[in-house]
């Protein structure tokens, strides 16, 4: 288990809507492509975080620390 990888994944889930959507569709594959060394248990735990909670947290953050989702990023 890598606390640093979990923290990176949480950060991306909160601040990057494109990553969040891709992770919802394919958690293990998205984590692997992002270079996040997560265990199966960590991936499962992160996948169970409610999407509305992540969006709410993102909306409460300063825009300067969130990633802008462009239309071409959403494909």
Torsion, Cα of 52, 54, 55, 59 (10° steps): 140
Distance, CA of 45 to CA of 7 (rounded, Å): 13
The answer to whether 58 and 27 have CB atoms below 8 angstroms apart is no
Distance, CA of 46 to CA of 24 (rounded, Å): 10
pTM exceeds cut of 0.85: no
Q: What's the rounded mean pLDDT across residues 44-56? A: 94
**Residue of higher predicted confidence among 34 and 75:** 34
**Residue of higher predicted confidence among 57 and 64:** 57
pLDDT-derived band at 59, boundaries 50, 70, 90: confident
Residue 18: Cβ-neighbour burial (10 angstroms; 0-12, 13-18, 19+)? middle
């Amino acid at each position: 288990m890598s606390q640093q990888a979990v923290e990176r994944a949480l950060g991306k889930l909160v601040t990057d809507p494109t990553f969040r959507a891709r992770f919802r569709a394919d958690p293990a594959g998205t984590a692997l492509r992002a270079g996040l060394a997560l265990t199966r248990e960590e991936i499962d735990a992160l996948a169970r975080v409610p999407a509305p909670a992540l969006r709410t947290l993102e909306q409460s953050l300063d825009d300067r620390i969130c990633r802008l989702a462009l239309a071409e990023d959403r494909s």
